[in-house]
Amino acid sequence: MCLLHTMLRVGDLDRSIKFYTQVLGMELLRRKRLRGRAVLLAARQGQ
C-alpha cells in the first residue's frame, strides 16, 4: 500500500512527529507553519 496524501489533526504535534519517525520509521522531510495553528509536514517512509 502506498499513502500519497493525508491530513491528520493532532493534539501534540511534537509527540506525533516522534511517533511517526521513531516508531513507524518515517523520515520528516520538511515542516512549514501555515496560517493560524496549522503546520504542513512532508514525510516519507524511511529506508
pLDDT single digits (tens) 5-32: 778 888 888 898 899 889 988 888 888 8
In this prediction, residue 15 carries a pLDDT of 93
Assess whether pLDDT exceeds 70 at residue 47: no
Burial 5-31 (b: 16+ CB within 10 A, else e): eeeeeeeeeeeebeebeeeeebeeeee
Between 19 and 40, name the one with better pLDDT.
19
| Of 37, 35, 8, the residue nearest 20 (C-alpha) | 8
Structural domain boundaries, residue 18? 13-45
Tell me whether residue 8 is in a domain: no
Tell me whether residue 5 is in a domain: no
pTM of the predicted model, to two decimals? 0.71
Between 10 and 4, name the one with better pLDDT.
10
Query: Looking at the 3D structure of the chain, how many domains does it have?
Result: 1
Tell me whether residue 3 is in a domain: no
